[in-house]
A = this chain, B = another copy of it.
Protein backbone atom coordinates (compact mmCIF):
# COMPACT_ATOMS: atom_id res chain seq x y z
CA UNK A 1 0.00 0.00 0.00
CA UNK A 2 1.29 3.36 -0.94
CA UNK A 3 0.36 6.97 -0.27
CA UNK A 4 0.18 9.71 -2.88
CA UNK A 5 -0.71 13.35 -3.34
CA UNK A 6 -3.24 14.26 -6.01
CA UNK A 7 -4.30 17.64 -7.41
CA UNK A 8 -6.92 17.95 -10.14
CA UNK A 9 -7.33 21.64 -10.86
CA UNK A 10 -6.51 24.48 -13.20
CA UNK A 11 -2.92 25.74 -12.54
CA UNK A 12 -4.03 29.30 -13.35
CA UNK A 13 -6.34 29.20 -10.29
CA UNK A 14 -4.37 26.85 -8.04
CA UNK A 15 -1.09 28.26 -6.75
CA UNK A 16 -0.17 24.94 -5.09
CA UNK A 17 -0.40 23.16 -8.40
CA UNK A 18 1.68 25.85 -10.11
CA UNK A 19 4.18 25.69 -7.23
CA UNK A 20 4.48 21.91 -7.56
CA UNK A 21 4.57 21.61 -11.36
CA UNK A 22 5.64 25.06 -12.64
CA UNK A 23 3.09 24.75 -15.41
CA UNK A 24 0.39 27.22 -16.48
CA UNK A 25 -2.81 26.10 -18.20
CA UNK A 26 -6.30 27.52 -18.55
CA UNK A 27 -8.02 24.15 -18.02
CA UNK A 28 -7.81 21.52 -15.29
CA UNK A 29 -4.86 19.13 -15.35
CA UNK A 30 -4.09 16.07 -13.25
CA UNK A 31 -1.02 16.11 -10.99
CA UNK A 32 0.29 13.27 -8.88
CA UNK A 33 3.13 13.08 -6.38
CA UNK A 34 4.15 9.53 -5.58
CA UNK A 35 7.27 8.31 -3.78
CA UNK A 36 8.63 11.85 -4.09
CA UNK A 37 8.23 11.87 -7.89
CA UNK A 38 6.07 14.50 -9.56
CA UNK A 39 3.88 13.31 -12.43
CA UNK A 40 1.76 15.53 -14.67
CA UNK A 41 -0.97 14.08 -16.90
CA UNK A 42 -1.69 16.28 -19.91
CA UNK A 43 -4.06 16.28 -22.86
CA UNK A 44 -2.67 16.20 -26.42
CA UNK A 45 -3.24 19.95 -26.48
CA UNK A 46 -0.87 20.58 -23.57
CA UNK A 47 1.52 17.66 -23.90
CA UNK A 48 4.30 19.28 -25.95
CA UNK A 49 4.22 22.58 -24.06
CA UNK A 50 4.24 20.62 -20.82
CA UNK A 51 7.42 18.79 -21.85
CA UNK A 52 9.11 22.15 -22.41
CA UNK A 53 7.77 24.14 -19.47
CA UNK A 54 6.75 21.89 -16.57
CA UNK A 55 9.25 21.06 -13.84
CA UNK A 56 8.15 17.52 -13.02
CA UNK A 57 9.75 14.09 -13.11
CA UNK A 58 7.37 12.58 -15.63
CA UNK A 59 4.66 13.65 -18.05
CA UNK A 60 2.00 11.15 -19.09
CA UNK A 61 -0.41 11.42 -21.99
CA UNK A 62 -4.03 11.75 -20.89
CA UNK A 63 -5.28 10.29 -24.16
CA UNK A 64 -3.13 7.18 -23.67
CA UNK A 65 -4.57 6.79 -20.17
CA UNK A 66 -8.12 7.31 -21.45
CA UNK A 67 -7.52 4.48 -23.98
CA UNK A 68 -6.07 2.23 -21.28
CA UNK A 69 -9.01 2.99 -18.97
CA UNK A 70 -11.48 2.27 -21.78
CA UNK A 71 -9.96 -1.16 -22.33
CA UNK A 72 -10.64 -1.88 -18.66
CA UNK A 73 -14.19 -0.58 -19.00
CA UNK A 74 -13.48 2.56 -16.95
CA UNK A 75 -14.81 5.96 -17.99
CA UNK A 76 -14.16 9.65 -17.40
CA UNK A 77 -11.54 11.28 -15.19
CA UNK A 78 -12.33 8.86 -12.35
CA UNK A 79 -11.63 5.98 -14.71
CA UNK A 80 -8.30 7.54 -15.62
CA UNK A 81 -7.31 8.10 -11.99
CA UNK A 82 -8.42 4.57 -11.08
CA UNK A 83 -6.35 3.10 -13.93
CA UNK A 84 -3.34 5.14 -12.91
CA UNK A 85 -3.68 4.27 -9.22
CA UNK A 86 -4.02 0.54 -9.93
CA UNK A 87 -0.81 0.64 -11.98
CA UNK A 88 0.99 2.55 -9.23
CA UNK A 89 -0.63 0.45 -6.48
CA UNK A 90 -1.93 3.57 -4.76
CA UNK A 91 -4.77 3.07 -2.26
CA UNK A 92 -4.48 6.11 0.00
CA UNK A 93 -4.18 9.68 -1.10
CA UNK A 94 -3.96 13.20 0.22
CA UNK A 95 -5.69 15.98 -1.72
CA UNK A 96 -6.02 19.77 -1.25
CA UNK A 97 -8.79 20.88 1.10
CA UNK A 98 -10.34 22.71 -1.82
CA UNK A 99 -10.73 19.52 -3.90
CA UNK A 100 -14.23 19.06 -5.35
CA UNK A 101 -16.34 16.79 -3.16
CA UNK A 102 -17.75 15.07 -6.25
CA UNK A 103 -14.24 13.89 -7.14
CA UNK A 104 -13.53 12.76 -3.58
CA UNK A 105 -16.92 11.01 -3.26
CA UNK A 106 -16.25 9.12 -6.49
CA UNK A 107 -12.76 8.08 -5.36
CA UNK A 108 -14.06 6.92 -1.98
CA UNK A 109 -16.78 4.93 -3.73
CA UNK A 110 -14.00 3.11 -5.59
CA UNK A 111 -12.44 2.21 -2.24
CA UNK A 112 -9.68 4.83 -2.03
CA UNK A 113 -8.93 6.43 1.29
CA UNK A 114 -8.88 10.17 0.70
CA UNK A 115 -7.59 12.65 3.25
CA UNK A 116 -7.27 16.42 3.32
CA UNK A 117 -3.77 17.83 3.09
CA UNK A 118 -2.55 20.96 4.81
CA UNK A 119 -3.59 24.39 3.60
CA UNK A 120 -1.72 25.45 1.54
CA UNK A 121 -1.18 21.96 0.16
CA UNK A 122 2.55 22.69 -0.03
CA UNK A 123 3.12 24.47 3.30
CA UNK A 124 6.72 25.05 2.26
CA UNK A 125 5.50 27.83 0.01
CA UNK A 126 4.60 30.00 3.03
CA UNK A 127 8.29 29.98 4.02
CA UNK A 128 9.92 32.00 1.31
CA UNK A 129 13.31 31.05 -0.09
CA UNK A 130 15.82 33.84 -0.80
CA UNK A 131 14.83 33.55 -4.48
CA UNK A 132 11.12 33.86 -3.69
CA UNK A 133 11.80 36.78 -1.34
CA UNK A 134 13.64 38.50 -4.18
CA UNK A 135 10.78 37.87 -6.62
CA UNK A 136 8.26 39.41 -4.19
CA UNK A 137 10.63 42.34 -3.62
CA UNK A 138 10.91 42.81 -7.41
CA UNK A 139 7.12 42.82 -7.71
CA UNK A 140 6.90 45.30 -4.85
CA UNK A 141 9.45 47.58 -6.54
CA UNK A 142 7.22 47.62 -9.64
CA UNK A 143 4.23 48.45 -7.44
CA UNK A 144 6.12 51.43 -6.02
CA UNK A 145 7.09 52.61 -9.51
CA UNK A 146 3.37 52.59 -10.31
CA UNK A 147 2.71 54.38 -7.01
CA UNK A 148 5.20 57.08 -8.03
CA UNK A 149 3.29 57.46 -11.30
CA UNK A 150 0.02 57.89 -9.38
CA UNK A 151 1.63 60.53 -7.19
CA UNK A 152 3.11 62.28 -10.25
CA UNK A 153 -0.28 62.41 -12.00
CA UNK A 154 -1.98 63.72 -8.86
CA UNK A 155 0.84 66.28 -8.58
CA UNK A 156 0.39 67.41 -12.19
CA UNK A 157 -3.40 67.62 -11.90
CA UNK A 158 -5.12 70.98 -11.43
CA UNK A 159 -8.01 71.78 -9.10
CA UNK A 160 -11.12 73.48 -10.48
CA UNK A 161 -14.24 73.66 -8.31
CA UNK A 162 -12.68 70.97 -6.10
CA UNK A 163 -12.46 68.53 -9.04
CA UNK A 164 -9.13 67.25 -10.38
CA UNK A 165 -8.19 67.85 -14.03
CA UNK A 166 -5.22 66.27 -15.79
CA UNK A 167 -4.08 67.40 -19.24
CA UNK A 168 -7.24 69.50 -19.49
CA UNK A 169 -9.87 66.84 -18.75
CA UNK A 170 -11.36 65.44 -15.54
CA UNK A 171 -9.17 62.95 -13.72
CA UNK A 172 -11.41 60.04 -12.81
CA UNK A 173 -10.58 56.91 -10.79
CA UNK A 174 -10.90 54.96 -14.05
CA UNK A 175 -8.44 57.19 -15.89
CA UNK A 176 -5.80 57.08 -13.18
CA UNK A 177 -6.32 53.31 -12.87
CA UNK A 178 -5.84 52.92 -16.63
CA UNK A 179 -2.53 54.81 -16.46
CA UNK A 180 -1.35 52.53 -13.64
CA UNK A 181 -2.44 49.34 -15.38
CA UNK A 182 -0.86 50.34 -18.67
CA UNK A 183 2.39 51.10 -16.87
CA UNK A 184 2.27 47.76 -15.03
CA UNK A 185 1.62 45.91 -18.31
CA UNK A 186 4.69 47.59 -19.77
CA UNK A 187 6.74 46.30 -16.82
CA UNK A 188 5.43 42.74 -17.35
CA UNK A 189 2.65 42.63 -14.75
CA UNK A 190 -1.04 41.77 -14.83
CA UNK A 191 -3.76 42.60 -12.35
CA UNK A 192 -5.90 39.63 -11.36
CA UNK A 193 -8.15 42.23 -9.72
CA UNK A 194 -8.07 45.89 -10.73
CA UNK A 195 -6.05 48.34 -8.62
CA UNK A 196 -8.01 50.51 -6.23
CA UNK A 197 -8.13 54.25 -6.87
CA UNK A 198 -10.91 55.39 -4.55
CA UNK A 199 -11.60 58.93 -3.38
CA UNK A 200 -13.82 60.51 -0.74
CA UNK A 201 -16.61 58.32 0.61
CA UNK A 202 -15.53 55.50 -1.74
CA UNK A 203 -12.22 55.36 0.11
CA UNK A 204 -14.10 54.43 3.30
CA UNK A 205 -15.09 51.12 1.68
CA UNK A 206 -11.83 49.12 1.58
CA UNK A 207 -12.75 46.92 -1.40
CA UNK A 208 -14.46 49.60 -3.52
CA UNK A 209 -12.20 50.02 -6.55
CA UNK A 210 -13.40 53.60 -7.11
CA UNK A 211 -15.17 55.36 -9.96
CA UNK A 212 -15.93 58.86 -11.18
CA UNK A 213 -14.19 62.20 -10.68
CA UNK A 214 -11.40 62.48 -8.14
CA UNK A 215 -11.73 65.47 -5.82
CA UNK A 216 -9.40 67.80 -4.00
CA UNK A 217 -8.98 68.11 -0.23
CA UNK A 218 -10.16 64.55 0.50
CA UNK A 219 -8.47 61.15 0.77
CA UNK A 220 -7.60 59.14 -2.31
CA UNK A 221 -6.58 55.54 -1.57
CA UNK A 222 -4.31 53.88 -4.15
CA UNK A 223 -3.91 50.12 -3.60
CA UNK A 224 -1.90 48.21 -6.24
CA UNK A 225 -1.46 44.39 -6.21
CA UNK A 226 -0.31 43.00 -9.57
CA UNK A 227 1.23 39.65 -10.44
CA UNK A 228 4.49 39.31 -12.33
CA UNK A 229 3.95 37.49 -15.63
CA UNK A 230 7.20 35.53 -15.36
CA UNK A 231 7.71 34.78 -11.66
CA UNK A 232 3.95 34.76 -10.89
CA UNK A 233 4.65 36.43 -7.52
CA UNK A 234 2.46 39.30 -6.33
CA UNK A 235 3.35 42.69 -4.95
CA UNK A 236 0.87 44.68 -2.83
CA UNK A 237 1.08 48.21 -1.46
CA UNK A 238 -1.24 51.02 -0.49
CA UNK A 239 -0.71 54.72 -0.03
CA UNK A 240 -3.26 57.38 0.80
CA UNK A 241 -3.04 60.80 -0.78
CA UNK A 242 -4.86 64.11 -0.51
CA UNK A 243 -4.55 66.53 -3.41
CA UNK A 244 -4.71 70.02 -1.93
CA UNK A 245 -5.26 70.66 1.77
CA UNK A 246 -6.11 67.97 4.29
CA UNK A 247 -8.24 68.90 7.31
CA UNK A 248 -6.59 68.82 10.74
CA UNK A 249 -8.73 65.77 11.60
CA UNK A 250 -7.62 63.91 8.46
CA UNK A 251 -3.97 64.79 9.13
CA UNK A 252 -4.29 63.39 12.64
CA UNK A 253 -5.94 60.23 11.31
CA UNK A 254 -3.20 59.78 8.71
CA UNK A 255 -0.47 60.26 11.33
CA UNK A 256 -2.17 57.73 13.61
CA UNK A 257 -2.37 55.06 10.87
CA UNK A 258 1.26 55.72 9.96
CA UNK A 259 2.36 55.38 13.61
CA UNK A 260 0.25 52.23 14.02
CA UNK A 261 1.88 50.67 10.96
CA UNK A 262 5.36 51.55 12.21
CA UNK A 263 4.55 50.13 15.63
CA UNK A 264 3.21 46.90 14.06
CA UNK A 265 6.32 46.51 11.90
CA UNK A 266 8.49 47.03 14.98
CA UNK A 267 6.62 44.24 16.80
CA UNK A 268 6.68 41.65 14.00
CA UNK A 269 9.15 38.84 14.45
CA UNK A 270 9.18 35.06 14.43
CA UNK A 271 7.37 33.57 17.42
CA UNK A 272 4.95 36.47 17.83
CA UNK A 273 1.24 35.74 17.56
CA UNK A 274 -0.39 37.86 14.84
CA UNK A 275 -3.39 38.60 17.04
CA UNK A 276 -1.27 40.45 19.59
CA UNK A 277 -0.02 42.73 16.80
CA UNK A 278 -3.53 43.28 15.49
CA UNK A 279 -4.80 44.00 19.02
CA UNK A 280 -1.96 46.47 19.60
CA UNK A 281 -3.15 48.46 16.57
CA UNK A 282 -6.78 48.35 17.74
CA UNK A 283 -5.67 49.58 21.18
CA UNK A 284 -3.49 52.31 19.68
CA UNK A 285 -6.37 53.58 17.54
CA UNK A 286 -8.64 53.62 20.61
CA UNK A 287 -6.05 55.48 22.63
CA UNK A 288 -5.74 58.09 19.86
CA UNK A 289 -9.53 58.44 19.89
CA UNK A 290 -10.18 56.54 16.66
CA UNK A 291 -12.42 53.74 17.95
CA UNK A 292 -14.04 51.03 15.84
CA UNK A 293 -17.79 51.18 16.29
CA UNK A 294 -21.14 51.19 14.54
CA UNK A 295 -22.04 54.74 13.49
CA UNK A 296 -25.37 55.28 11.75
CA UNK A 297 -25.78 51.53 11.25
CA UNK A 298 -22.37 51.13 9.60
CA UNK A 299 -19.24 49.74 11.25
CA UNK A 300 -16.52 52.39 11.05
CA UNK A 301 -12.94 52.68 12.25
CA UNK A 302 -10.47 49.80 11.74
CA UNK A 303 -12.76 47.37 9.92
CA UNK A 304 -10.37 44.78 8.52
CA UNK A 305 -7.40 42.64 9.49
CA UNK A 306 -3.86 43.98 9.76
CA UNK A 307 -2.30 41.75 7.13
CA UNK A 308 -2.33 38.65 4.97
CA UNK A 309 0.29 36.28 3.59
CA UNK A 310 1.34 36.99 0.02
CA UNK A 311 3.31 35.07 -2.59
CA UNK A 312 1.97 33.03 -5.51
CA UNK A 313 -1.46 33.98 -4.14
CA UNK A 314 -2.42 37.54 -3.36
CA UNK A 315 -4.12 36.47 -0.14
CA UNK A 316 -2.13 33.52 1.06
CA UNK A 317 -3.39 31.38 3.92
CA UNK A 318 -2.81 30.62 6.70
CA UNK A 319 -0.47 33.55 7.31
CA UNK A 320 -2.65 36.31 8.77
CA UNK A 321 -2.30 39.11 11.23
CA UNK A 322 -5.80 39.62 12.58
CA UNK A 323 -8.07 38.45 15.40
CA UNK A 324 -7.16 34.80 14.76
CA UNK A 325 -4.42 32.81 16.45
CA UNK A 326 -1.40 32.60 14.21
CA UNK A 327 2.25 32.43 15.17
CA UNK A 328 4.71 33.98 12.71
CA UNK A 329 7.75 32.04 11.49
CA UNK A 330 11.00 33.13 9.82
CA UNK A 331 10.37 33.29 6.08
CA UNK A 332 6.72 34.31 6.27
CA UNK A 333 5.90 37.25 4.05
CA UNK A 334 2.93 39.31 5.12
CA UNK A 335 1.31 42.66 4.39
CA UNK A 336 1.01 45.23 7.17
CA UNK A 337 -1.92 47.46 6.32
CA UNK A 338 -3.75 49.17 9.14
CA UNK A 339 -6.48 51.56 8.08
CA UNK A 340 -9.13 53.87 9.47
CA UNK A 341 -12.42 54.56 7.75
CA UNK A 342 -14.97 57.14 8.85
CA UNK A 343 -17.68 58.47 6.57
CA UNK A 344 -17.20 61.95 8.06
CA UNK A 345 -13.42 62.12 7.53
CA UNK A 346 -12.54 59.64 4.81
CA UNK A 347 -10.44 56.50 4.48
CA UNK A 348 -6.73 56.07 5.21
CA UNK A 349 -4.76 52.88 4.61
CA UNK A 350 -1.00 52.41 4.49
CA UNK A 351 0.33 49.04 3.35
CA UNK A 352 3.76 47.51 2.99
CA UNK A 353 5.07 43.95 2.80
CA UNK A 354 7.46 42.51 5.37
CA UNK A 355 9.65 39.41 5.49
CA UNK A 356 9.64 37.85 8.97
CA UNK A 357 12.99 36.98 10.54
CA UNK A 358 14.09 35.56 13.89
CA UNK A 359 14.88 38.99 15.25
CA UNK A 360 12.30 41.19 13.54
CA UNK A 361 11.21 41.82 10.00
CA UNK A 362 12.45 43.43 6.80
CA UNK A 363 10.24 45.78 4.81
CA UNK A 364 10.47 44.67 1.14
CA UNK A 365 11.12 47.75 -1.04
CA UNK A 366 9.99 51.12 0.21
CA UNK A 367 8.08 54.25 -0.70
CA UNK A 368 7.51 57.51 1.18
CA UNK A 369 4.39 57.98 3.29
CA UNK A 370 3.11 61.47 2.64
CA UNK A 371 -0.53 62.52 2.68
CA UNK A 372 -0.75 65.91 1.02
CA UNK A 373 0.14 66.53 -2.63
CA UNK A 374 0.40 70.20 -3.55
Contact = CB atoms under 8 A, between A and B. Distances in A.
Contacts of A314: 26
Contact of A191 (B46, B186, B190, B194): B190
A303 B44 contact: yes
Chain B CB within 10 Å — which of A194, A298, A299 has the most? Answer: A299
Interface stretch (A204-212, A214-222, A254-262, A358-366): A204-212
A56 to B, nearest CB: 17
A229 B177 CA distance: 13
Contact of A101 (B47, B99, B303): B99
Interface residues of A, number: 45
A5 B315 CA distance: 27
Contacts of A25: 207
A207 B101 contact: no
Interface in A190-204: 190-194
Interface in A101-153: 101-105, 114, 116
Contacts of A299: 44, 47, 63
A12 interface: yes
A155 interface: no
A298 B116 CA distance: 37
Interface in A166-200: 178, 181-182, 185-186, 190-194
Given A49-B207, A181-B185, 8 more contacts: A25-B207, A45-B207, A98-B100, A98-B102, A99-B101, A102-B116, A105-B116, A190-B191
Q: Top 7 nearest A-B pairs by Cβ distance?
A: A101-B101, A101-B104, A97-B102, A45-B304, A44-B299, A98-B100, A44-B303
